Structure 1
């Protein structure tokens, strides 16, 4: 794995960058594994019926459009842009669609959908967070591609700050979720979620120095390890758990009481804090 993240492309570029040093858009319809194409087709066909004229565009993200999804293990991740702010009725309709797809297609393990308005995705406030997410991590599925209205992005400190510079704000909420998790299934979901979030935060902490992009958790952990060997094994372990979670309550406590606070302090020291959002 170390060889992978140390790989340098033509002209000395890190992986994930184009010849000008911008982050390349990951994923494409051509990379969707054959087993998942019927699921993607069903989502594409049904979303207009579910949301009607409120739907502006829809995107795939995650392992399915990257071509790394595992049958029976991976979920289908969707980002949906609406012409107005999403309502509870929109969320309920999309949740019902996700449940229907999950029941109909055994090759997926659930459907996750993010709903935002077109205006928010293109807003100045979200330019280096949700905007970057659409432009670099999302694959168009339906409608106008909002990436055409967004800039090219470099793996710099501003991007690091605006994508993951809010860990300190999240940790109190995480502690509440850990305290409320009473079943193994709930704890396993939290381990998967928090492991992934911490690895991505650790990676973006060092991303400007590493000067590249990857969405692979193991590669992220190895990039982090180059600059923080004192925490390397914790990130490597979290990368494994991001794919194969356990239900260990002690691990969750270590995330919210040790690794998480350390990462939050280091992030603030290096990149500052994310621009506050309404309701923070």
Structure 2
């Protein structure tokens, strides 16, 4: 059941799990040593930030806000640092950096994307905590579209990546299927009604809210829910079904635009 609320729940702020404390310290130390002049703030989001990660399975999701746009050498340095951190920390399956700049994060046109993201998902572990620049956001379809407006392109990119992994790396293939399934389930929020008062927090809540409006899609949602969990297996039908759902989603968005 989704949570009905006047404003979206705040970003996580509880204690970190002991299994990740060394990683978080290493992340902060390495970033400051190699990119300190570039950084405005370091944030965590996702399962590690919430304190419900699974060692060896969960990712470490990091948002980096930079003082200015990175030069090519800066981008290369950050990518090398990310890979080095991932190589020496098996307690996470991988490390992702989402990178933005201070000017973009504070721009009025990005209020419902960067503003919402920093306020309700990110916890600052170093630097300027820009989440303090925003008041809590009420649930809205505007936010869902701002955050997931490129979902069809994202799902197609993930489909191509999965195709390239077939028969090469089973563990990575399963992980990529899981990531794509989770992204798809969260992105169903783009079809929420503008006056919907709830704001899903879990995949189960996203699925339930979506199915309340589109019950005929239950079989498809059940398929992706199975692949969104741990312990999945490679599925030859996954890419086909991912693309089919993305195409259906694109059609629904076009219909909504025509009706508005």
Whether 1:23 aligns to 2:19 is no
Whether 1:65 aligns to 2:49 is yes
Aligned to 1:36: 20
In 2, are the aligned partners of 1:71 and 1:107 still within 8 Å (CA)? Answer: yes
In 2, are the aligned partners of 1:25 and 1:138 still within 8 Å (CA)? Answer: no
Aligned to 1:11: none
After superposition, the C-alpha distances for 1:20-72 in whole angstroms (9 at most, x for unaligned) are x11122212x3421211221122122211120211110100000111110011
- Judge which range, 135-144 or 150-159, deviates more: 150-159
After superposition, the C-alpha distances for 1:194-231 in whole angstroms (9 at most, x for unaligned) are 21121011134226454222332122112222221111
| TM-aligned CA distance change 1:168 to 1:76, over 3 Å | closer
In 1, are the aligned partners of 2:162 and 2:177 still within 8 Å (CA)? Answer: no
Query: 1:247 deviation in Å?
Result: 2.5
* Other structure's SS at 2:42 match: strand
Aligned to 1:226: 212
Query: 1:181 deviation in Å?
Result: 4.0
Count of residues paired in the alignment = 255
* Other structure's SS at 2:36 match: helix
In 2, are the aligned partners of 1:155 and 1:207 still within 8 Å (CA)? Answer: no
In 1, are the aligned partners of 2:140 and 2:196 still within 8 Å (CA)? Answer: no
Q: TM-score under structure 2 normalisation? A: 0.86
Whether 1:247 aligns to 2:234 is yes
Q: Partners in 2 of 1:181 and 1:77 — Cα distance?
A: 22
Q: Partners in 2 of 1:246 and 1:110 — Cα distance?
A: 19
Query: 1:105 deviation in Å?
Result: 2.8
In 1, are the aligned partners of 2:155 and 2:242 still within 8 Å (CA)? Answer: no
Q: Partners in 1 of 2:9 and 2:35 — Cα distance?
A: 30
In 2, are the aligned partners of 1:31 and 1:67 still within 8 Å (CA)? Answer: yes
Q: Partners in 1 of 2:251 and 2:130 — Cα distance?
A: 34
Structure 1 residue runs without a partner (length 5+): 9-13, 273-280
Once superposed, what is the RMSD of the aligned Cα atoms?
2.4
Q: TM-score under structure 1 normalisation? A: 0.81
| TM-aligned CA distance change 1:240 to 1:40, over 3 Å | farther
Whether 1:267 aligns to 2:253 is yes
Whether 1:118 aligns to 2:99 is no
